[in-house]
Structures are given as C-alpha cells and as structure tokens.
Amino acid sequence: MQSSRIGVGVGWVATLAALCVACASSDDDPRVRAAEQGKKAPAVPDRAQLAERARRIFGPLPDQVPRSDYSLTPARTDLGRKLYYDPRLSKSQQISCNSCHDLARYGVDGEPTSPGHRGQRGARNSPSVYNAALHIAQFWDGRSPDVEDQAKGPILNPVEMAMPSEEATVALLRSIPGYRADFEAAFPDDDEPISYDNMALAIGAFERRLMTPSPFDAFLAGDDDALDDVQLAGLETFVNTGCVTCHQGPAIGGRMYQKLGLVKPYATADTGRHAVTGLEGDRGVFKVPSLRNIEKTGPYLHDGSIESLDEMIRIMAEYQLGRALEDGQVASIRAFLGALTGRPDASYVAKPALPPSGPNTPGPDNT
C-alpha cells in the first residue's frame, strides 16, 4: 500500500504536466523578446552538462515494457490490437478502448471526461495510453497495478462500456469464429485460450509497446542538435524550477502519487487515492501524470477542468511549488514540453481488420 507521502506529487505534477505542453512560438521565446527590448538574452545552457544531468533524472525511453511472467509475442500483440479496437466489447457495440484512448490523437479523446454507454460520463479525464505501461499503476487513483488489470475495468463499468459480466464478454468473444484461432496462437498452452484474463493479457501486451520516442529522447541519446536553444533553456528551467521532483523517469512522471494542492489548498471534490486506500493522508492525492505528448493531450488535471496549458503551468507552480512564474518562465517550460511530443510506430497502431461476427454473436444492446 502506498503512503500519502509517496504520492505527494500527483496534483502538481498532473497540473504542471498539463500546463507545460504547448509548443513555444517565436513570440513566446524569451530570447526574442529580450532582443526586441534591447536586453541581453539569457545564456544558452551548456548542452553537454545539461544532457548528462537529464540522463540521470529521466533515463532512456524503452521500446517496450516487458513482463516477467509472459512474453510479448507477435501473436499476443496482434490479438491485443484487434481487441483494443473492437467495439463489440461494449454493450452498445459502439465503444472500444480506442474510443476514449484514441491512438490517432495521442491516446486521448480531447474531452474533459469521456462519453460512455448511452452518453454517460464519468468524473475523471481519460489519460493517454501511450507510455502508460511505464507507470507505477493505472488510473488517476492507482487502483489497478498494471495495464492488464486496467483493461478489465472499463469493459464492465456501467458508465463506460457496460458489458453485463465477464461471462457475457467471454461468450461474445467465443461467438466470433475468427477469434478462436487468434487466441489459440496467442495462448497455445491453455486448454481454453478464450478467457477474460487472456483478453486483458493480450490488450496489455499490445499496450506495453505503445511508446512514443521524441526529440528529447534523441537529445538524451547524444544528438546535441535534437533540441533547439529555446527548448534547451526550457529543460533547464523545468529542472531548476523543481518540476522534476515529481516528473522524473522515462515517462517524465507516472512514478509516484502526489497531493493536488501540496503547498496551497486546491479545491476539488474528488478524494482521489483516498477512495482506494481509505487513508486520510491520501485524500486529494493522485498519480503523477506523464508529461510525454502533454501538448497534445489536454484538457488537463484529473477532471479535465483546465484547457490552457499556460494556465496549468501557472497553477501547478503556485499550488504545488509555491511559486509565481513569470511569463518567460512559463514560455520556457512550455517550449521544453513541446520536445516531449513523440510519434508511435504508425504500422503498429494502425487499425486492424476485425474478424466478422458469427451467426450466434449477440447484437448491440442500447438499454
């Protein structure tokens, strides 16, 4: 069980993460403004020294996140890709994993909260699935330990995909003839490969390779020119401001929990991790979000209440760090966050052809 102290970084991280994402234009460049005002532009940080410092804080982004108890075989990731895109895993047969975590939109749907069965909406923002396997846990409150366990939840949630039971879901999968061979190839040692657990394992296997390498990763790998001077200065500002207290590791976050409103109370009705642990110290504590692709994954915070990245950065600095950032600092951090926007393997995330329904496959139910 995680203590509230281990999680104290989520609130400001989520906000800061959200805040720090828009790419800086030349108008936002503090060096350009300084030149226009006849002032001396800030010095460009030493690239080699800052790169080495960043390597120690963040480390390299892997191409996958393996599990010790099963292999990420092509058969499993191929099956997981199909299941991820298949809307028949919802009661209405209109909602898939990809509906809320759209792989063509950086793993989100751009909504404050996502529409589910019959248009119902939950209370929390749908986070990006990209790089999520690197996180300490899944969901804003960390109630699932990994992506495999997380994959089981939304399918049965009455507000989301609304399937009536695990048994109904398995019966549907078994009624689709093409899935039989896919499950047998993915789980050759199982007497009955089509099961709810194996469905989740396959989706998880697919998600464990959803990595988005960015210019920042090229910089960490030794390409000194991967970041321009403005982004480099932004990295220095990001580190020196204290953002890395929570936003660290390969995912630039996702490794700890943190209280939203760490140094200044932040009003939210959501009790966060408290609902999972029952610990009073976890009230208002959330998982620190990853800042990868943050400029593309708004709106921000657990409830999607903040639309502007600049506002998010300022809020996080004020409520999590006790700092009032100047415009130039906000622009600088935002420029660095732009360098965290990456690209997945297009062929890996492409929508696959789904096996056709069989004669006994249930139809949609919108009740």
* Tokens describing residue 14: 């989520």
Please check whether residue 304 is in contact with residue 350, taking contact to mean a CB–CB distance below 8 angstroms: no
What pLDDT, on the 0 to 100 scale, is given for residue 42?
Answer: 57
Q: Are 113 and 125 in contact (CB under 8 A)?
A: yes
The pLDDT of residue 45 is 87
- Contact criterion met (CB below 8 Å) for 340 and 252: yes
| DSSP single-letter state for residue 288 | P
pLDDT of residue 44: 78
Q: Supply the pLDDT for residue 291.
A: 98
Active site residue 111: no
Which residues of the chain have a pLDDT value below 50?
1-32, 34-35, 38-39
Predicted local confidence at residue 221, as pLDDT: 97
pTM: 0.88
Cα 281 off chain centre by: 25
161 exposed, middle or buried (CB, 10 Å; 0-12, 13-18, 19+)? buried
Point out the catalytic residue in the list 148, 160, 207, 236: 160
Average pLDDT, the chain: 91
Q: What is the pLDDT of residue 312?
A: 96
Q: Would you call 8 helix, strand, or coil by DSSP?
A: strand
DSSP state of 39: P
Q: What is the pLDDT of residues 79-95, one digit of tens each?
A: 999 999 999 999 999 99
Tokens matching residue 282: 């976890």
The stretches of the chain forming alpha helices (DSSP H) are 10-19, 30-36, 47-57, 74-85, 97-100, 147-156, 166-174, 177-186, 196-207, 215-220, 229-241, 274-277, 309-316, 327-338, 346-349
- pLDDT for the residue numbered 41: 52
Q: Can you spell out the DSSP letters for 188-232?
A: TT-SS---HHHHHHHHHHHHTT-----HHHHHHTT-TTSS-HHHH
Q: Which domains does the chain have, with CATH numbers?
A: 10-62+213-338 (1.10.760.10), 74-210 (1.10.760.10)
Distant-in-sequence, close-in-space partners of 316: CB < 8 Å, separation ≥ 6:
12, 13, 14, 15, 16, 17, 18, 19, 20, 243
**Beta-carbon count within 10 A of 153 CB:** 15
